[in-house]
């Protein structure tokens, strides 16, 4: 057989970079190994600029705007050739962050040939190589690079997709706010609701998790080998190194963490991953509920314009594959996010290396979530409500009116009406395990001797009209609940 591992271009091992790459590709710009190295390079460049701008190091030159532009251009232009060169350096160093440091030093040496002008003439960049990575342990670079890439992945890729799902679901909830639907609790017929209200419940739950993710803090530190600024104060005493570190971390748009070991403890990552996992699990609940509604016939699946094959042997089938695919990928995503959240918060003493390989799976965790969100959104977009099927189910469930009749009897008894004794038991005898017809329910109501207004109200009630204020509750999605119950 052909050795598939030797084929060029390389064949992806996992589905996110193979079968589903078109959907998850935007994450490559943030959470791939190349994106991580680009972020590392950016942190090294900005640290060099930060130290020279503040005149923190005695004797360090002041960089011209042209020199700073050149340095930042090294990051902006980081591409295929740089990735290959970095790989060749790392093959020698056997250390990823050290390879980035050496790559940047090569670019400093090349600045003169690039015609970069300094403040007073020729560029000083070839002579500032020793400032690169000064006072830094690898984790000073890594923690900031990860915070930047995870933040950009969440804010620029995952959140827009998640917001799109909530918007789609909210729009559907509003459209179906008035559509009466038979509820099922424990799988049994129960008090009717509206389809829109039930979708709104899920949209509201998802929206709360979105707010949590949107409010996430991304922490960073740059304080040396064990978080003590030890090398800093010995080498350059008299500098307020905490202020330098804080201003640098905040200049990157991150939250400064003043108390760390060699690593930033990753608690913020655990918090973020738990919130994303909770969003996933609610989306999983959405997928299973919609799958069930499709099975009940409440939704019809629209055939795609290109046609589709639902079964290799049963030609009639239109399978709810978008929701099933979503379920599976949400489960994989949650498994990864749970593992990340539980393991990243522990590091032996001042540092162990377990987080190094663990964090490299953040892209996969978010990728499976992104893929699931895409599938669920496409699944929702291909649904039509079968109003006749909903009405049919409601009209065969007159037993659900046992609840309002019972409660009306209780209220009438409190108001002084007679003959209202044992309402629960009487309705139980009428409805439990029995088929209740419209005529049977109305005859029962008429036999109770209710006050005229109550009897009239109950006789007019049907399963389809017994939905309370469900339709109005949908307006809570916009934060504007109606004040009237009309």
What residues are labeled active site? 186, 311
- Positive or negative, the Cα torsion across 352, 92, 86, 71? positive
Give the separation between CA 117 and CA 67, rounded to whole angstroms: 7
Note the residue count of the chain. Answer: 486
Cα separations (Å) of 384 from 293, 381, 446, 464?
11, 9, 39, 19
Are residues 344 and 359 in contact, defined by beta-carbon separation less than 8 angstroms?
yes
Cα separations (Å) of 451 from 116, 170, 427?
94, 41, 18
- 256: phi then psi, degrees, rounded to nearest 5: -75, 130
Tokens of 299: 């939704």
Give the separation between CA 408 and CA 142, rounded to whole angstroms: 66
Which DSSP letter does residue 95 get?
A: -
- Find, among 422, 424, 430, 426, the residue nearest to 398 by Cα: 430
Give the separation between CA 148 and CA 155, rounded to whole angstroms: 10
Give the separation between CA 364 and CA 139, rounded to whole angstroms: 22
Q: How many helices (H) and strands (E) does the chain have?
A: 21, 6
Strand 299-301 to 383-385 pairing: antiparallel
Tokens of 146: 């990860």
CA angle 301, 306, 312 (to 5 degrees): 70
Which DSSP letter does residue 386 get?
A: -
For the chain, the C-alpha Rg in angstroms (whole number) is 32
Are residues 327 and 284 in contact, defined by beta-carbon separation less than 8 angstroms?
yes
Please state whether the peptide bond connecting residue 51 to the residue before it is cis, i.e. omega within 30 degrees of 0. no
């Amino acid at each position: 057989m052909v050795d598939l591992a030797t084929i060029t271009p390389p064949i992806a091992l996992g589905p996110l970079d193979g079968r589903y790459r078109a959907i998850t590709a935007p994450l490559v710009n943030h959470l791939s190994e190349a994106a991580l190295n680009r972020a590392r390079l950016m942190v090294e460049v900005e640290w060099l600029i930060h130290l020279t701008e503040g005149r923190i190091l005695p004797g360090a030159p002041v960089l011209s705007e042209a020199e700073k532009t050149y340095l930042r251009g090294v990051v902006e232009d980081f591409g295929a050739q740089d990735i290959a060169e970095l790989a060749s350096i790392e093959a020698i160093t056997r250390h990823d962050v050290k390879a980035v440091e050496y790559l940047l030093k090569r670019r400093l040496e090349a600045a003169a040939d690039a015609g970069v002008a300094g403040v007073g003439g020729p560029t000083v960049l070839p002579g500032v190589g020793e400032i690169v990575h000064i006072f830094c342990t690898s984790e000073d670079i890594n923690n900031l690079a990860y915070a930047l890439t995870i933040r950009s992945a969440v804010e620029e890729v995952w959140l827009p997709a998640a917001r799109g799902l909530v918007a789609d679901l909210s729009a559907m909830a509003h459209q179906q706010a008035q559509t009466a639907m038979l509820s099922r609790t424990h799988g049994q017929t129960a008090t009717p609701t509206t389809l829109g209200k039930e979708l709104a419940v899920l949209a509201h739950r998802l929206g709360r998790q979105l707010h949590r993710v949107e409010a996430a803090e991304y922490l960073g530190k740059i304080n040396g080998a064990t978080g003590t600024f030890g090398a800093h104060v010995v080498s350059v005493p008299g500098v307020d190194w905490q202020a330098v570190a804080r201003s640098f971390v905040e200049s990157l748009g991150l939250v400064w963490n003043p108390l760390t070991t060699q690593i930033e403890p990753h608690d913020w990552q655990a918090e973020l991953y738990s919130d994303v996992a909770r969003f996933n699990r609610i989306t999983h609940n959405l997928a299973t509920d919609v799958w069930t509604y499709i099975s009940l016939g409440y939704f019809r699946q629209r055939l795609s314009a290109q046609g589709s094959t639902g079964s290799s042997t049963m030609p009639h089938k239109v399978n709810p594959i978008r929701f099933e695919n979503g379920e599976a990928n949400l489960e994989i995503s949650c498994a990864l996010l749970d593992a990340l959240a539980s393991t990243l918060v522990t590091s032996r003493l001042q540092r162990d290396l377990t987080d190094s390989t663990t964090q490299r799976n953040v892209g996969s965790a978010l990728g499976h979530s992104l893929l699931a969100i895409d599938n669920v959104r496409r699944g929702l977009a291909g649904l039509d409500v079968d109003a006749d099927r909903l009405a049919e189910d409601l009209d065969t469930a007159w037993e659900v009116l046992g609840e309002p009749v019972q409660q009306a009897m209780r209220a009438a008894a409190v108001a002084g009406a007679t003959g209202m004794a044992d309402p629960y038991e009487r309705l139980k005898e009428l409805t439990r395990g029995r088929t209740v017809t419209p005529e049977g329910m109305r005859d029962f109501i008429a036999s109770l001797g209710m006050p005229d207004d109550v009897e009239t109200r109950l006789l007019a009630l049907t399963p389809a009209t017994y939905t309370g204020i469900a339709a109005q509750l949908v307006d809570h999605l916009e934060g504007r609940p109606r004040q009237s119950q009309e």
